[in-house]
Amino acid sequence: MIIDFHTHYYPAKVVGKALAAVEGRIGHYTDGSRAGLLASMREAKIDYSLALPIATRPANSRGINTWAAAERSENIGLTGSIHPGDPHLPDTLKYIAEQGLPGIKLHPEYQQFDFADERLYPVWERCVELDLFVITHAGCDVMFKPPWHSDPARLAAFHRRFPELKLILAHLGSMEMWDAVETELAGLPVYFDLALLTPDRLPPQRLLAIIRKHGAERILFGTDSPWSPQKAHVDYIRSLPLSEAERELIFHRNAAKLLHL
């Protein structure tokens, strides 16, 4: 079984805008639709994908979470999302939990916030109470200019402040900050996903070293589809000299536990 813990697709009314926003900076390997994701999953022999919507404005949190709850199916799950500027964050988190969504997706660059902001501390405490995991973009993002809001040192400090929070750091802890990932994050009880990681971004030897230092029991297979091809990611992980037990943890066991599948 293979679970892709990091994918995206968009409603028909906004998919064109979503693809146009990244034109010339990153490619796309599906048409950005739900049907496109399902076709990609069939090609890659992926059994289940988790889609990660993002609340880009405080006002659209409720609409996004309502859409996410309605879109779930046997082979596609979705998280909820919050916007740090939402004046009704406790109610939004309660609604996400009531809808049965397993966690929330955040992007500190798009949403312009810092995990060190003390005004958001009640949000993370409430996520622990509601058993909602937090999955966040981590590290560099080609759509934005540095300094980044999610470097390894900040994320490690955030974990230390909220050790009970189920924290998932996309892009192997912090995209393109591999030295700091190894020194600041690897080995901590947080999850890394593998979204966007291809041999040209991170050679197999370096990827394997970080996986081994962090522990396969804290690694989640992910692709970032449509921004990266699912099949190529499956092939890359299969090419690594992992044990069968490690491969099963990465491909599905860790994700199934978080998603209560």
Query: What 3-state class would DSSP assign to 70?
Result: helix
Evaluated on CA atoms 214, 108, 32, 5, the torsion sign reads positive
pLDDT per position as a tens digit, 51-106: 999 998 998 899 999 999 999 999 999 999 999 999 999 999 999 999 999 999 99
Q: Return d(Cα 138, Cα 196) in angstroms, integer.
A: 12
pLDDT at 220: 98
Confidence band, pLDDT 50/70/90 cuts, at residue 41: very high
> Which tokens hold the place of 55?
């609340």
Q: pTM of the predicted model, to two decimals?
A: 0.96
pLDDT per position as a tens digit, 188-223: 999 999 999 999 899 999 999 999 999 999 999 999
Pick the CATH number of 3-259 from 2.40.30.20, 3.20.20.140, 3.40.50.2000, 3.30.430.20: 3.20.20.140
Domain boundaries, the chain: 3-259
Q: Give residues with Cβ within 8 angstroms of 107, minimum separation 6.
A: 54, 136, 137, 141
What one-character DSSP code corresponds to residue 120? Answer: G
Q: What is the mean pLDDT of residues 116-124?
A: 96
Q: Give residues with Cβ within 8 angstroms of 82, minimum separation 6.
A: 55, 61, 89, 92, 93, 96, 104, 106, 123
pLDDT at 12: 86
Confidence band, pLDDT 50/70/90 cuts, at residue 26: confident
